[in-house]
Amino acid sequence: MADSITVEIPAPGTQPDFHFPPYVSSIARSPRQPLIVLPQTLSNCAGPVFGHSIINALDHDLTVQHEAPPVGERIIVHGRLLDEDGRPIPNALVEVWQANAGGRYRHRVDQGEAPLDPNFSGAGRTITDANGYYLFRSIKPGPYPWRNHYNAWRPAHIHFSLFGAGILSRLVTQMYFPGDPLQPFDPIFNSITDEAARNRLIARFDIERSEPHHALAYSFDIVLRGSKDTPFEGPHR
């Protein structure tokens, strides 16, 4: 039998509650009974291992996936995937998806008024290197209205999915941009009641990594566990 391990419980307010009434969709999607914590063993910690062969050379660049460049402000998003001790997590699959510059997803459910961009699909993926580093090239997503409450708008954001060795399940989070005036009004962002934890979802503007006459850069490190872990989502939009 495998040895048992200790799983650290996140501090209150540092992860979003499944049931958060200001985010109306969470009411129907969340459990009403206390969650049952199952004991973890070392065998549960072995996640899948991905090879670079499953990633095409341009999967990380959302601006060159079609015949012409997409409309919008070009950006670079980069960072490191780390554990609770600051050690890099290599060979993890990192996926992103996002709305276009007008705030619309290329998805049949999104029937918003903003136009679709024929040169932007809004999805990419990459594998972290030996230092846990990843990089994406994209365009800055636009905010968009949604029907959660009166005059509801989601701030600009990019969805991240993480999956790999040492990650017990697929983890999903969102990256936000600094200085966005919509963040104080967004119930998904504010479902993380601890301010310090909430601010860990906001990327850092990186002038050093920005490319002259081409793209602005944002740095976004993702910490999987520990007191400085990145908040991860329950139900999300």
Coil, helix or strand for 147?
A: coil
- Assess whether 154 carries a catalytic annotation: yes
Question: From its phi and psi, is residue 16 left (phi > 0), alpha (psi between -120 and 50) or beta?
Answer: beta
* CB contact at 8 A, 197 and 14: yes
As a whole number of angstroms, the distance between CA 170 and CA 107 comes to 21
- Assess whether 218 carries a catalytic annotation: no
Residue 3 lies in a domain: no
> Which residue, 135, 145, 187, is CA-closest to 24?
187
Write the CB contacts of 171 (distance below 8 Å, at least 6 apart in sequence): 161, 162, 163, 224, 232
Q: Which residues pair with 88 in a beta bridge?
A: 82
Predicted pLDDT at 226: 78
Q: Which of 125, 159, 198, 200 is catalytic?
A: 159
Predicted pLDDT at 1: 44
> Which residue, 39, 134, 11, 26, is CA-closest to 82?
134
- Domain span at residue 127 reads 55-228
Q: Which of 60, 78, 125, 144 is catalytic?
A: 144
Q: Which of 78, 80, 105, 176 is catalytic?
A: 105
Q: What is the pLDDT of residues 120-142, one digit of tens each?
A: 999 999 999 999 999 999 999 99
Q: Which of 154, 176, 198, 218 is catalytic?
A: 154
Residue 166 lies in a domain: yes
DSSP state letters, 156-183: SEEEEEEE-TT-SS-EEEEEE-TT-TTG
Q: Which residues of the chain have pLDDT under 50?
A: 1-2, 4-5, 234-237
- Assess whether 144 carries a catalytic annotation: yes
In this prediction the pTM is 0.83
Residue 105 lies in a domain: yes
- Assess whether 108 carries a catalytic annotation: no
Q: What are phi and psi of 53, to 5 degrees?
A: -70, -20
Q: What are phi and psi of 39, to 5 degrees?
A: -65, 140
Predicted pLDDT at 22: 76
* CB contact at 8 A, 112 and 141: no
Residue 95 lies in a domain: yes
State the total domains in the chain: 1
As a whole number of angstroms, the distance between CA 67 and CA 127 comes to 25
Predicted pLDDT at 5: 47
* CB contact at 8 A, 217 and 223: no
Residue 213 lies in a domain: yes
Give the CATH number of the domain where residue 91 resides. 2.60.130.10
CA distances for 13 relative to 34, 76, 115, 135, 195, angstroms? 17, 30, 37, 29, 9
As a whole number of angstroms, the distance between CA 115 and CA 72 comes to 13
- Assess whether 157 carries a catalytic annotation: yes
Residue 12 lies in a domain: no
What totals of helices (H) and strands (E) does the chain contain, helices first? 2, 11
Residue 1 lies in a domain: no
Residue 16 lies in a domain: no
